[in-house]
Amino acid sequence: MREGLYLRTVPPREALEIILSRVKPWSYGKTEVIPVREALGRVTAEAVRAKVSVPHYNSAAMDGIAVKAERTFGASEANPVRLRLGQEALWVDTGQPMPEGTDAVIMAEEVHQPEGGIVEIMRAAHPWQHVRAIGEDVIAGDVLLPSNHRIRPQDLAILLASGVEQVRVKRRPRVTFIPTGDE
């Protein structure tokens, strides 16, 4: 066998140093702005902040009736409070914006309708009962993702919910493999 036919084995750390010393400085560390929908698996180039709060409105956390809590104070099974539907009480579904002038939701299971247009409340509601407040999950300006973060599916969801449509990411490196040898 001919001496010098095989190259010497290079330890991984030394190989990485050799590669990095030959990377063109103008290509290393470049960034680009891409739509969030195309960002899965990419790496953030800077911290990403929320543009809007989540939720961005006060919303019902339960199905039921939206009321002004103080109108229910003193309600009990012995002395129910009667409210007019459409005026003092409005039906809402989970996630729906709270109607103006209301600050609590009474669960549908706790509402009695003895006659058309009237509901009876057997227990007082407290302000913000079963209501998700503006910014409960995220406040506009909060850091959603740090720099150098690989974007995962769940990250896409919070980015889009927070009003982020584009994100600055690191450019993917261009890599060329040159196979050598005849084996």
| Whole-number Å distance between alpha carbons of 49 and 132 | 21
Residue 4 has pLDDT above 70, yes or no: no
Q: What are the tens digits of pLDDT across the range 21-40?
A: 877 655 557 899 999 999 99
Q: CA 80: distance to chain centroid?
A: 40
| Whole-number Å distance between alpha carbons of 65 and 95 | 13
Residue pair 90/127 in contact by the 8 Å Cβ criterion: no
Residue 10 pLDDT: 86
Residue 179 pLDDT: 77
Residue 95 has pLDDT above 70, yes or no: yes
| Whole-number Å distance between alpha carbons of 98 and 112 | 21
Contacts 24+ apart (CB under 8 A), 123-128: 123/72, 123/75, 123/76, 123/77, 124/69, 124/72, 124/73, 124/74, 124/75, 124/81, 125/67, 125/69, 125/72, 126/69, 127/69, 127/70, 127/103, 128/69, 128/103, 128/104
Secondary-structure class of domain 59-132 per CATH? mainly beta
Residue 51 has pLDDT above 70, yes or no: yes
Q: What are the tens digits of pLDDT across the range 59-70?
A: 999 999 999 999
Domain 30-54+135-170 bears CATH identifier 2.60.40.1930: no
Using alpha carbons, select from 45, 15, 28, 10 the residue that is nearest to residue 170.
45
| Whole-number Å distance between alpha carbons of 135 and 60 | 14
What residue ranges do the domains of the chain occupy? 30-54+135-170, 59-132
Average pLDDT over residues 75-91: 93
- Residue 44: CB partners within 8 Å, gap ≥ 6? 145, 146, 147, 148, 149, 151, 167, 168, 169, 170
The residue type of 100 is: E
Residue 28 pLDDT: 59
pTM exceeds 0.75 for this model: no
120 class by beta-carbon count within 10 Å (0-12 exposed, 13-18 middle, 19+ buried): middle
